[in-house]
A and B are shown apart, each in its own frame.
Chain A
Amino acid sequence: MVQEAINGGAEKSQLAITVEQLIAVNPYNPDILPDLENYVNEQVSSQTYNLDANLCLLRLYQFEPERMSTPIVARILVKALMAMPAPDYSLCLFLIPERVQIEEQFKTLNVLSHFLETARFRQFWDEAAKSRHIVEAVSGFEQAIRAYAVHVLSITYQKVPRTILAEAINIEGVSLDKFLEHQASNNGWVIEKGQGKGQLITLPPTEFNHPELKKNTADGVPLEHITRIFPILG
């Protein structure tokens, strides 16, 4: 979901179109490696994301380890973290040899990933603050992680205390007021006064924090399954 939100906004660049064509024509072609590397850099600066292209590049590195560029790998991993809750980060790590993963910058990224995977947001933001040089190189990093934190909160909570939200998204005070205001007018958040414990935020209902909403989808039969018996019905 986060991915779509990021991709949806901008128009596709010429490079993006070219690379997608290259992959479509021949995904197992060592000659497209430089294009894929350029494309990673473009994703970093233009806040776009293409997992397939990045996996394709990691695969080429796997086939020819001597061509691997660790700065590019690090950028791919930061982008993959930003795609959470999707498992992209592990998908990338599965393709990166252990001897590369023990480099310092990758160790840091692994720690960050661990905190996100185990919903330890306070520790995550503390650690991220210590490693600014890695994460700040990629624009939109904080927003993307916030989107993930909000995702985890909203599948867990119907109503979440303000302090807990503040900790998870690492925003406080006036900035948080603004953030809440924005969410209230755009995403249907409701902010109310809790029982003496400060504000309480009602998150929009989903089938995950309101399990009773789930039923409807499970009972349905997809149209394409019905189409199979059209000839019989007709």
Chain B
Amino acid sequence: MAAPYEYEEGGYPQQTDAVGYDPNFVPDSVKSFVVHLYRHIREKNVYEIHQMYETSFQTLSERMFKETPGLLLMPLRLTLIMTMSSACFTVRCGSVTCMLDFLLLLDSGLIRGIIIAAFSRFLISVVLHGVVNMQLPNQWLWDMVDEFVYQFQAFCQYRAKMKSKTVEEIALLRQFDQAWNVYGVLNFLQALVEKSTIIQILEREKEGLEEFTATDGYDYSGGSNVLKVLGYFSMIGLLRVHCLLGDYHTGLKCLRPIDITQQGVYTSVIGSHITTIYHYGFANLMLRRYVEAIHEFNKILLYIYKTKQYHQKSPQYEQILKKNEQMYALLAIALSLCPQVKLVEETVNSQLREKYGEKMARMLRYDEEASALYDELFSYACPKFITPSAPSFEEPLVNYNQDAYRLQLKMFLYEVKQQQLLAGVRTYLKVYSTISMGKLANYMDLDEPNLRAVLMTYKHKTHAVDSDGKIISNADVDFYIDEDMVRVVESKSAKKYGDYFLRQIVKLEGIMTDIDRIKLE
């Protein structure tokens, strides 16, 4: 989840006029900022780095913008992430000016794409081949991965709109046909995962041989957290890229080393927490694992509800709210297909009713209008799917930026259509404990062979296959057929106390340890 960019829908901003700006001039405030930042990085003062990153830079950027209008038209945050990433390395070489060249070049949309490709190469060389001896805030490390994936997505969207391109743009695209190459992006993230050995670290942690989650990924014994945490966040980056490509199975596979039933480093940064659960939930929705999706959406929506006030000043606040709304839409879809309202906490449920109560009632009807509503909610809440292949430069030029989205939407609506009679069955099953096939067929206005097919479809669609190949039931109302009789079983909500107790035991132990440490005078 990236910062709220104004150009999110429209693609890249047009080149702006930066005449009158001397690229070799570095204002004192910027110099002093970089010097301070460098000092904190050298001293491994994570708290101060975080402060400068989250707050001071914003203030500085805003002031600079006032002094030199037209200079920082680029989204502040992007500039921040990139310049600071490069700054902390370049400062060591004594070159501050190159970072301001960066700013200037960044004003051009296309060049930005190319620059960021260069930036990623730079990251590869420094992080993967060099020795990094720093502690950087998780927020910053998350932003690097997040921004990287976001820029890839935005570039694919931009490139796919061929019709409106100028001759120069097309020439540039041809010349830099490897910019944001999809193999490069995936291999980059994959390389971070592998070089960081994060999967092994998490495995060792399970066996109690290593600490990672307990320290939020920071290294308090003199080492660096950079590679480890970048590798960790890259797994989430891979989940996101695969979702953008429509490959939900592989996306979830990339995330598997992270146990999302527990708190982890991914929950230490709100942006990473939301991105993880949004994509995890969406992928599960597409795989028909509705209960899993509902479960995770419910948890994160409750969390956002309780904590959003603390993020009001964050540059990501708008983005948090947007993902919040999108996840309510996805929850509405999941609950319409699988009405397990019991799984949803009261606060979340009342928010949901407020936003989508009326629409959800209409979605149960399964007519044309209902289908239009599924379409509307899906289109609003789905990820921005991409077509990763390069455009054809043959005339006539065509736009293909909507192709990926249309395919995923079509597939989803097809699934909805296959389930369209299930809501009707559900209604009858809820009011009967036993009913004969003949009678039910009569009520539903179907002949018996068709009713049988509908009942079996209900069973098939409510019984998903989980990631281990096991059959799991998503049914709210379940039944079985005994020769000619349908016998209904109301599913009881199985509350899991085990997990709750386990967590409380760990918590209590923590408190006891703290108490033991207190020395009374």
Contacts and interface: CB of A to CB of B under 8 A. Distances in A.
Interface of A: 1, 3-4, 26-30, 51-52, 55-56, 59, 62-65, 85-87, 90-91, 93-95, 97-98, 114, 117-120, 122, 152-153, 155-161, 164, 194, 200, 207-212, 214-215, 218-221, 224-226, 228-229, 231-232
14 contacts: A28-B187, A28-B190, A52-B250, A62-B245, A87-B288, A87-B464, A119-B456, A156-B456, A208-B473, A214-B473, A220-B498, A229-B506, A232-B505, A232-B509
Nearest to A195: B483
A87 B499 contact: no
A93 B249 CA distance: 12
B410 to A, nearest CB: 7
Nearest to A115: B453
Query: Interface on chain B toward A: helix, strand, loop, or mixed SS?
Result: helix
B376 interface: no
Interface string B382-416: 00000011000000000000010011101100010
Nearest to A219: B494
B459 A98 contact: no
Interface residues of B, number: 60
B511 interface: no
A88 to B, nearest CB: 8
A147 to B, nearest CB: 13
A152 B274 CA distance: 36
Given A28-B183, A59-B245, A208-B459, A221 B499 contact: yes
Given A157-B480, A229-B502, A63 B388 contact: yes
Interface of B: 182-183, 186-187, 190, 206, 208, 245-250, 253, 286-288, 388-389, 403, 406-408, 410-411, 415, 418, 449, 452-457, 459-461, 463-465, 469-471, 473, 478, 480-484, 489, 491, 494, 496, 498-499, 502, 505-506, 509
Contact of A98 (B182, B407, B452, B471): B407
The 4 lowest CB-CB distance pairs between A and B, nearest first, are A221-B498, A119-B456, A218-B494, A94-B246
B501 to A, nearest CB: 8
Contact of A62 (B388, B456, B481, B483): B388
B459 A93 contact: no
Contacts of A211: 478, 480, 489, 491
B247 A86 contact: no
Contacts of B502: 221, 225-226, 228-229
Contact of A95 (B190, B245, B460, B499): B245
